[in-house]
Chains A and B, each alone.
Chain A
Amino acid sequence: MEFEITYSKKQEKFRTEVQAWLESNVPEGIEHPADSSDLTEEQYLKRRELGRKLGSKGWLWPSAPEKYGGGGLGVEHAIVLEEEMDKIGLSLPPYYDSGGRLGGNSILVWGTEEQKQYFLPQIFQGNVRTWQLLSEPEAGSDLANVKTTAVKDGDDYIINGQKVYVGSAFGAEYMWTITCTDPKGERHKNLGWFMIPGNSEGITINPMDLLSSAGESGAGSGIKNIVFFDNVRVPAKNLIGEENNGWQVATTHLELEHGTGGRIARNWIVDKIFEYCKTTDFNGSSISSDQFAKDKLLDIYIDAEVGRLFQLRNYWMRHTGASFSYEGPQASYFRKTSGLRIATNILEILGPSALTSDEKLSVESGHIEAHQRAAIIALHPGGTTDIQKVIMSRRIGIGRENKEKAGALK
């Protein structure tokens, strides 16, 4: 077994190239704010600009196929890019975009050649950013119960309905969504998956007032919206994976969102809290010397390490093409539940200073306060903790002989 990435000379050479490029291309003033809803439009536009530059080098979605505008790079180069972006406090892509990792993968698996040629280069080059539109007021955990309709009308579909907890601030060029294409059809066989241009007539976007908008994406989404479709006309060629086959298309991005992709990044909030407790004075010695705080910090550490190892395992499995069973939802379940435990332990150690973003009294410039809220919100996107357990049970085959298979990936 080898848990560490060993970097070849080729990779180190690539790292030097990446560092130099980032040094001269990353603009000033686009740092991640403590609360992602504080990201300004100016900062966002600068990040998009950076995304396009990265995209033109094949570095925005480095592992995506070159044929469709991705980098076509192996995992060894993708890792270097992710690490170097992480070092300067940015993620890849440097803004909220669920297209490259999730929606794009569904198009890769289920789209026609023509659709792949049309949509994927736009995504992988950073010319468009896309949002996922899945949940509805009546379709949360029961996603297959979506009521948004798509009715065929000549060469188009007419879409009506509403989607909730959508996207981020500042709009998107495409919205990918799952709709009902046959209201009388059998469950799971009555859905259609669409790529909808964000500027289509009849789309209304209203921001939601939420405790926190931080979600699955490392970039932080800033804000979540309700999106209304009012007789929105979409060309039939934007239907991916045939009419009534939308659930299959969705299983691909749901699988990835359920944690199957894995991650190799460190948990920076844990690094921050350790550093803070070691260096901050409390009754004449460091916070971390207090036995109670020490115990809580150890709980945090163990949770973070186990979570890191689950993500690392999945990352390795994904990049070696191993077949998944329950590992995706397990990593997701653990990340969500341990995330909340970590936040609660931090609250116990720090007391009310963990709860304020006040300039004078907050810890780590408000990052800790934002994390307190985000840890609660993070329990639910991409499937609640209970849904993750349901999926795990089916995959393991608890109480059943036939084990459910993981969604198709590319």
Chain B
Amino acid sequence: MDLSLTEEQEMIKSSTREFVAAEFTKDVLLTIDKNRLPCASDSWGKLLSTGLLSALIPSKYGGNGGSFTNASIIFEELGRAPVPGPHLSAYALSVNILLNMGNEEQKQKYLSKLNNGKSVIIPAISDQEYGWSEDQITCKAKKTVAGYSISTEKTFVLDGMSATEYIVAANLEDGTIGFFVIPKKIKGITTRALAGFAWHMSEVVIDQIEVSDDCLLQFSSWDKFAEAANLSSVLLSAYQVGGCQYVYELSVEYSRTRMQFGTPIGRFQRVQDYIINLVNSLDAARWTTNEALWKIDSGKDYGDSIHLAQSVASQAYLDCCTYAHEVHAGIGSLTEYGLTLHTTASRTLYHYLGSPRFHRQKLAVVLGLI
């Protein structure tokens, strides 16, 4: 038993933390938050050039091809800021989809483009009825002479505005589900950013487009997608842990410096209670995530741990932000203070790759509660 990080992993952690702190300052994050296009920032370009995002891309496609634990360390540090996507979408979910379903040629093509930043490949999975189950894929890909014809509206696509290509899920005529890599620029695709509290979400309307046969990932299947989503959800958990860690530190610091009634507010037990709930949620998310990572990297059955970690971590990030707001009161809602960046992220990510409710249902099946 050894619950520590290796020396190499500690180095990845500290160098990523330094990079994120230097490049994704609060000002940068607030600017990105306003214009909603993270990829257009200089900081994103620098992040790409560090190669940190390629943590899951195997070296034969130009990436760093490390362990899930190594990748999780990077995602956790991105979550601290929080650096907005496209990372969980393009560099976790898309990479896992391509690795699971692409043939060699497709992997070579798309993974190297992701690796060098030429492409931003974003999964657009569920149709009008949002969700992460097979039933939510209602759109059909009709076989034509030249390839396939697809028409649908993909809703709540995370990082959709950043995309250069989409991975679109559609029912095939043989009753299976196919995953198509489709350039965003072709005629018939319109992407609309969703206004409001949603975080980098969009709707992608696909109006009777024609795509060639080779757009279909050769080994497409829903099971392989579910596997890719499960593996990616651990990195989402790690990202959420990073967010929890940051709002925890922010809240402890505020409890020491904010004076009311002539004393630091952290001297009040009601305030302490929020921070204790916060750290308990944080640690629950951290250790369930760590155990899932260890199971993946050591080749053990990980079904139970992935669903456990994701149902705990999504809930933890949402709760931790709420507790932090209770500690901070008024100032926490001030955009320039920075807490709301996390609050906003926590709400959207609550549902990404399946809500806690979704993962609990999956967990019930793994545990034989039938």
Residue positions of A touching B, CB distance < 8 A: 1-6, 274, 277-278, 286, 288-289, 294-295, 297-298, 301-302, 305-306, 309-310, 312-313, 316, 320, 326, 330, 333-334, 389-390, 392-393, 396-401
Q: Is the CB of A289 within 8 A of B291?
A: no
Residues 101-121 of B, flagged 1 when their CB comes within 8 A of A and 0 if not, give: 000000000000000000000
Q: Is the CB of B2 within 8 A of A1?
A: yes
Chain A residues in 8 Å Cβ range of B268? 399
Which residue of A has the minimal Cβ distance to B327? A398
Chain B residues in 8 Å Cβ range of A392? 276, 279
Cα A302 to Cα B280 in complex, Å, equals 13
Cα A56 to Cα B364 in complex, Å, equals 47
Cα A289 to Cα B368 in complex, Å, equals 9
Which residue of B has the minimal Cβ distance to A303? B284
Known A1-B4, A1-B294, A316-B3; judge A330-B288 contact (CB<8 A): no
- 6 A-B contact pairs sorted by A residue (CB < 8 Å): A392-B279, A393-B276, A398-B256, A398-B272, A399-B265, A399-B267
Residues 341-370 of B, flagged 1 when their CB comes within 8 A of A and 0 if not, give: 000000000000000000010011001111
Residues of B1-43 contacting chain A, CB below 8 A? 1-5
Q: Is the CB of B288 within 8 A of A393?
A: no
Residue from the set B4, B284, B290 with the largest chain A CB neighbour count within 10 Å: B284
Q: Is the CB of A278 within 8 A of B252?
A: no
Q: Is the CB of B1 within 8 A of A4?
A: yes
Say if the beta carbon of B255 comes within 8 Å of chain A: yes
Q: Is the CB of A297 within 8 A of B369?
A: yes
Q: Is the CB of B264 within 8 A of A400?
A: yes
Known A301-B367, A306-B284, A399-B255; judge A326-B279 contact (CB<8 A): yes
Min distance, Cβ A335 to any Cβ of chain B, angstroms? 12
Q: Is the CB of B368 within 8 A of A313?
A: no
Q: Is the CB of B311 within 8 A of A313?
A: no
Q: Is the CB of A298 within 8 A of B360?
A: yes
Residues 282-293 of B, flagged 1 when their CB comes within 8 A of A and 0 if not, give: 011001101101
Which residue of B has the minimal Cβ distance to A299? B360
Known A298-B363, A298-B369, A302-B311; judge A396-B283 contact (CB<8 A): no
Q: Is the CB of A3 within 8 A of B3?
A: yes
Q: Is the CB of A310 within 8 A of B1?
A: no
Say if the beta carbon of B205 comes within 8 Å of chain A: no
Known A306-B288, A306-B312, A334-B280; judge A294-B364 contact (CB<8 A): yes
Residues 261-282 of B, flagged 1 when their CB comes within 8 A of A and 0 if not, give: 0011111110111011001100
Chain A residues in 8 Å Cβ range of B287? 306, 309-310, 312-313
Residue positions of B touching A, CB distance < 8 A: 1-5, 69, 252, 255-256, 263-269, 271-273, 275-276, 279-280, 283-284, 287-288, 290-291, 293-295, 298, 308, 311-312, 360, 363-364, 367-370
Chain B residues in 8 Å Cβ range of A397? 252, 256
Q: Is the CB of B291 within 8 A of A399?
A: no
Which residue of B has the minimal Cβ distance to A398? B266
Q: Is the CB of A1 within 8 A of B3?
A: yes
Cα A6 to Cα B300 in complex, Å, equals 14
Q: Is the CB of B370 within 8 A of A288?
A: yes
Chain B residues in 8 Å Cβ range of A6? 1
Question: B364 touches which one: A286, A298, A393, A398 (CB < 8 A)?
Answer: A298
Q: Is the CB of B256 within 8 A of A400?
A: yes
Cα A42 to Cα B247 in complex, Å, equals 56
Closest 6 CB pairs of A and B: A399-B266, A309-B287, A398-B266, A399-B264, A399-B267, A393-B272
Chain A residues in 8 Å Cβ range of B1? 2-6, 312, 316
Chain A residues in 8 Å Cβ range of B308? 301-302, 305
Q: Is the CB of A399 within 8 A of B272?
A: yes
Which residue of A has the minimal Cβ distance to B359? A298
Q: Is the CB of B294 within 8 A of A3?
A: yes
Cα A277 to Cα B276 in complex, Å, equals 33
Cα A4 to Cα B2 in complex, Å, equals 8
Q: Is the CB of B293 within 8 A of A400?
A: no
Cα A6 to Cα B69 in complex, Å, equals 19
Q: Is the CB of B2 within 8 A of A396?
A: no
Chain A residues in 8 Å Cβ range of B364? 294, 297-298
Cα A310 to Cα B272 in complex, Å, equals 20
Cα A10 to Cα B287 in complex, Å, equals 30
Which residue of B has the minimal Cβ distance to A401? B256
Cα A401 to Cα B308 in complex, Å, equals 35
Chain B residues in 8 Å Cβ range of A393? 266, 269, 272, 275-276
Chain A residues in 8 Å Cβ range of B295? 3
Q: Is the CB of B266 within 8 A of A302?
A: no
Known A3-B3, A397-B252, A398-B252; judge A301-B363 contact (CB<8 A): yes
Q: Is the CB of B276 within 8 A of A278?
A: no
Min distance, Cβ A379 to any Cβ of chain B, angstroms? 16
Chain A residues in 8 Å Cβ range of B280? 330, 333-334
Chain A residues in 8 Å Cβ range of B360? 295, 298
Min distance, Cβ B116 to any Cβ of chain A, angstroms? 31
Q: Is the CB of B276 within 8 A of A389?
A: yes
A306-B284, A312-B287, A397-B252 given; name 19 further pairs at CB < 8 Å: A1-B3, A1-B4, A3-B3, A4-B1, A277-B369, A278-B368, A278-B369, A294-B369, A298-B364, A301-B367, A305-B288, A305-B308, A309-B288, A330-B280, A333-B276, A389-B276, A398-B252, A398-B272, A399-B264
Chain A residues in 8 Å Cβ range of B284? 306, 309
Known A288-B370, A294-B364, A399-B268; judge A310-B256 contact (CB<8 A): no
